[in-house]
Structure 1
Amino acid sequence: MKVSNDQILLGKLRFQLAVTSAMLGTLELDQILYIILSGITHGEGLGFNRAFLFLSEDSAQELKAYTAVGPVNAEEAHRIWESMEEKRLDLDRLLADYEASAKDARAHALTQCLAGFSVPLSAATIAIREGDSGVPLQALIARAAATRQAFFFNRVEAQFEPPLSGGGTLMVFRKMAVVPLLQKDAVIGVILADNTFNGRDVKPEDMDGMTTLANLAAIAIDRARTHQRLKEMAAVDGLSGVCNRRHYELRLQQEISRAQRNGRPLSLLLFDIDRFKTINDSAGHEVGDRVLKDLAGILRARVRTEDLVARYGGDEFVVLLTGGATAEEALRVAEKLRQEVAERTLGDRPEGSVTVSVGVAFGLSEGLDGSELFRRADRALYQAKQEGRNCVRSAS
């Protein structure tokens, strides 16, 4: 049956309304991104097989694979299609199904396939023409970021080869649409959608829908980040100026959930000022307070914006590395911070008179437990104290 232009327009408006309404109902970034990518892949939306979102985290100068929606392979594609048919999961119900999706390990498999992907925002672009094969996925994302233009290819085959350490398999992308996310002329992300499994060509009208969603996504992401910053401002420790313990505990659970979805590890660094009581007793509590402020300032200035710095209590501070650092990288970060503290003047005390001991705990995404991660870091910190202070020790 032929569909009239009015029916097509009505369908587009209904789709845009469903996605916009769902996004307005939440300020949680991960849920907003789920809504956007689900709109791209659902049959009542744009109907792509898969959708991927690459995001620059605030002031970062690179795009990383953040989340994805869709099947890993053709068999999984068929299973998802049958499940949606059986559940009669229309677009509205799918968009409201975020909580169930967040708890389904299979829903995160595609995101985990891209673990380790990143591309600098300043990356040079290469020429890509219809008919090319073996094009690095990074080249497509870099092109969208550099040109700030949407584009599609129907006869290009792209691929992503995960780092050897990740143990992943080669991913292939065909029939692709790529759209940048812009906020005040700055690139904050890129969406890629493909039809690798059904082979449907991307059409110009698909790009209209992708561009509309990209505009909505950029606004929603900025809104969610502003909300998160306001929450963090309200969760600041009054003395040190970094996050308080309550916010750390809330954020830790969020980061564990995100790590499990993305297949990334987390590292926790626990700092304790050596002989802090002696400083308070000999120089006074005002000097002690300035030491705490100065230490917090060093930690905050020397880690990424996306990492978490919090005052856990007393003279203990926590740094949560959320970017997927390896155990070796976490140790290097801890050692650099320890060394900088030892070389600085804190609280107007003589250089080198204030030092810290550091315990480091590393946890893979599978089976991550926040309490256990902290206990391991605490045991490593105790070891550092026992072995002379002013050193870094790692949990076994």
Structure 2
Amino acid sequence: MSDPAFSGIPEALATAVRAVDVPHDLRTLFERLAVPLAVEIEAPVEDAPPLALQLLRLAGHGSSLRLVGARTTSSGPRVRFIHGMKDLVLGAGELADGIPALGRRIAQRLLDADEAAGALERFARESPRQEALRRLTRAMLETGSIDRLRTILLIGMTSGLALGFSRAALFVYDEDGRALVGESAIGPADAAEAARARATEWPGLEPRIAEVEATEPRYENFVRTIAVDVTADPRDEIGQALAARGPLLFSRERPVNPALAALEPPREFLVAAIRLRDKVLGIVVADDPYGAAPIDPQAREFIGFLLDTAALASENLRLHESVETLARHDELTGLFNRREFESRMADEQSRAQRLGSQCALLLFDVDYLQRVNLARGHKAGDELLQSVGVLLRSTLRSHDIVARLTGDAFAVLVTDTNHEQVLAIARRVGSLALGMGVSLSAGGSLWPRDNHEMSVLFSEAEAALIDAKRGGRGRAVIDGDEAPMLFTPPGDDDALD
């Protein structure tokens, strides 16, 4: 086999071994045992127990587990662990009992008293971390807010789980994607805050989130003034973290990177990149300038898992936002679609009733769109519709609501308005469109007026639009007006027809 990780594994089992993932709990078991074990594995080609395959994969990837023999068998599976003069043999039944049972059997049968005591001590220290990791992971994956996701991540890094961190800062790329800028941070701003934090017991995740949100973010405010650049120095901590595959621990009198130096970290500090499929989303920096406890080297694994989860949750939020955007917007123009427009019309009705204000509905049709499609192709027609969408967005006020309803039909809900303003808006849109070489027809209606219900706005505006098109197009008819308004190119005098 070409991959050294699978050397010694029969080719008949190799495909199945490649297909399995090693559970985090199994990997952690052998890391926390910290005792070198040898293993011999016999497994059938068909229906090999998942644990046997996972052990084969784990033994080939540099863990404390060393593969000394692997064979196929036509009978039941057999796994033999060897430690010094002791061994432990497991059959199909024991392999089906799961990872916790495997750990107990190894401790009871293979480890001496000192080795077992050391393993128990490491598990006792890691158990709270594993529970915290489960809670933090669940919270990050369930949150619907990117700001809350960042808060949970930083709380996890400074959660008092003997990781050695009291401060954590997050730097993300700016809108241009070129510079890393300070975005979020958690931690004491001075020694007095640090002393109060150390004297306070961990309240749990939700109370801690509330506590962070209610506290003046002095350290975060400082972090937000910092922009991070990577220097040409090969010792630059940010450059090294961007090139590494996991968190890095540094021990230096002063950081090489100027932005890190501005944070004034202690001698020991951690820097890690947040990645999703090899794309860097940001950088985190963690330290404890006010404590004497060293950073636990095993904290890197914990932080690495947190960062991987945060990256996945961030991607989920982005995808959810994209789906929500697609559900509310017209794909071609980026304007609201009809369903979202009608929903916002209902909201505006409630607001107008409450404030006693007036609103208006303007419907615009693109004249002669079919001619453009036939003469120049549908791509040209789509570009024309997109240009009308840009025109409407740039001409209307920010609080007016603009949508593409269907095909060549657009709608504008003009809020907090009156009859004169509606006429001016219709005239300006129609005039600017002519200046682009586009003819529009428009129909409109205002509400409330003459005790009309808002439900009749559409029918009134549609009737007015039909009158405008029948009258020759390139004009607007506002319900209640005696004469239509003919659109003229920019610079010409407005004319009434």
Q: Give SS of 2:281's match.
A: strand
TM-score for the superposition, normalised by structure 2: 0.44
Higher relative contact order (Cα pairs below 8 Å, separated by 6+ residues):
1
* SS of 1:204 mapped into structure 2: coil
For residue 224 of structure 1, what is the amino acid of its counterpart?
L
> Aligned residues, how many?
262
Contact conserved, 1:242 with 1:296, CA < 8 A, in 2?
no
Matches within 5 A, 1:359-374: none
Give the deviation of 1:96 after TM superposition.
Answer: 5.1
Using the TM superposition, give the Cα deviation of residue 222 of structure 1 relative to its aligned residue in structure 2, in angstroms.
1.3
Q: Is the 8 A contact 1:148 1:187 kept in 2?
A: no
| Structure 1 residue 98 corresponds to structure 2 residue 98 | no
Deviation at 1:41, TM superposition (A): 0.5
Displacement of 1:48 in angstroms is 0.6
1:147 and 1:13, CA in 2 relative to 1: closer, same or farther beyond 3 A?
closer
Highest Rg: 1 or 2?
A: 2
What corresponds to 1:268 in structure 2? none
User: Would the aligned equivalents of 1:144 and 1:178 in 2 still touch at CA under 8 Å?
Assistant: yes
Which residue matches 1:70? Answer: 187
- CA 99–148 in structure 1, closer or farther in 2 if over 3 Å, else same: same
Q: Tell me how far apart the structure 2 counterparts of residues 15 and 116 of structure 1 sit (CA, whole Å).
A: 31
How many angstroms does 1:200 deviate by?
3.0
Deviation string 1:161-195 (CA, Å, 9 cap, x unpaired) is: 79xxxxxx953112211111111111111111011
TM-score normalised per structure 1: 0.53
Aligned match of 1:224 in 310, 317, 331? 317
CA distance in 1, matches of 2:171, 2:298: 23
* Distance in 2 separating the partners of 1:101 and 1:36: 12
Aligned to 2:457: none
Contact 1:243/1:310 (<8 A) preserved: no
Say which of 219, 222, 231 aligns to 1:110: 219
Give the aligned residue type for 1:187. Answer: V
Q: 1:177 aligns with which of 255, 260, 270?
A: 270
Give the match for residue 157 of structure 1: 254
Cα displacement string for residues 331-350 of structure 1 (whole angstroms, at most 9, x for unaligned residues)? xxxxxxxxxxxxxxx86844
Distance 1:41 1:289, change over 3 A: same
1:258-277 to structure 2, matched below 5 A, reads: none
**Deviation string for 1:260-287 (max 9, x for gaps)?**
xxxxxxxxxxxxxxxxx9xx79x86979
Query: In structure 1, how many angstroms separate the alpha carbons of the residues matched to 2:392 and 2:280?
Result: 31
Distance 1:192 1:292, change over 3 A: same
Q: How far apart are residue 294 of structure 1 and its match? A: 3.2
Q: Does 1:145 align with 2:242?
A: yes
Q: Is the 8 A contact 2:246 2:304 kept in 1?
A: no
- Tell me the residue number matched to 1:378: none
The share of aligned pairs that are identical, in percent, is 22
What residue is the counterpart of 2:234 in the other structure?
127
Alignment check: 8 A CA contact 2:228 2:259 kept: no
Q: Is the 8 A contact 2:164 2:296 kept in 1?
A: no
Tell me, yes or no, if the aligned pair for 1:125 and 1:146 is still in contact at 8 Å.
no
1:64–1:117 Cα contact (<8 Å) kept: yes
Distance 1:52 1:290, change over 3 A: closer
Q: 2:136 is matched with which residue?
A: 19
For residue 51 of structure 1, report the CA deviation from its aligned partner. Answer: 0.7
Residue in structure 1 matching 2:172, options 45, 55, 58: 55
Instruction: Please list the CA deviations of residues 128-165 of structure 1 after superposition, one character each: whole Å capped at 9, or x if unmatched.
Output: 3xxxxxxxxxx533432244553111224248679xxx
Name stretches of at least 5 consecutive residues in structure 2 with no aligned partner: 1-116, 345-361, 370-380, 403-410, 415-431, 438-489, 491-497
1:58: how far off? 8.0
Contact 2:164 2:287 in 1 (8 A): no
- Counterpart of 1:66 in 2: which secondary structure? strand
Residue 293 of structure 1 corresponds to which residue in structure 2? 389
1:27 Cα deviation after fit: 2.5
> Per-residue displacement from partner, 1:350-370 (whole Å, max 9, x unpaired)?
49xxxxxxxxxxxxxxxxxxx
* SS of structure 2 residue aligned to 1:173: coil
SS of the residue 2:298 aligns to: helix
Q: Is the 8 Å Cα contact of residues 52 and 191 (structure 1) preserved in structure 2? A: yes
CA RMSD of aligned residues (A): 4.5
Q: What per-residue deviation string (whole Å, max 9, x for no partner) do you get for residues 74-119 of structure 1?
A: 112123333x33xxx33xx2345434532x241x222210224334
SS at match of 2:163: coil
Cα offset for 1:39? 1.1
Q: Runs of 5+ in structure 1 lacking a partner? A: 129-138, 163-168, 251-276, 300-308, 318-345, 352-388, 390-396
- 1:43 is matched by which residue type in structure 2? G
**C-alpha displacement at 1:208, in angstroms?**
1.9
Partner deviation per Cα, 1:187-230 (whole Å, 9 max, x = no partner): 11111101111143334212222212221221121112222222
1:231-310 to structure 2, matched below 5 A, reads 231-236=324-329, 240-242=333-335, 291-295=387-391
The answer for the alignment partner of 1:10 in structure 2 is: 127
Give deviations 1:37-96, integer Å, cap 9, x for gaps.
Answer: 1111111363411011112368723322221111111112123333x33xxx33xx2345
Matching residue's letter, 2:158:
T
1:35 equivalent in alignment to 2:127? no
Change in Cα spacing, 1:230 to 1:37, as seen in structure 2 (3 Å) is: same
Between the aligned partners of 1:228 and 1:99, the Cα distance in structure 2 is 25
Counterpart AA for 2:154 = L
SS at match of 1:182: strand
Cα distance between partner residues in 2 of 1:200 and 1:243: 55
In the alignment, the residues of structure 2 paired with residue 142 and residue 33 of structure 1 have an alpha-carbon distance, to the nearest angstrom, of 22
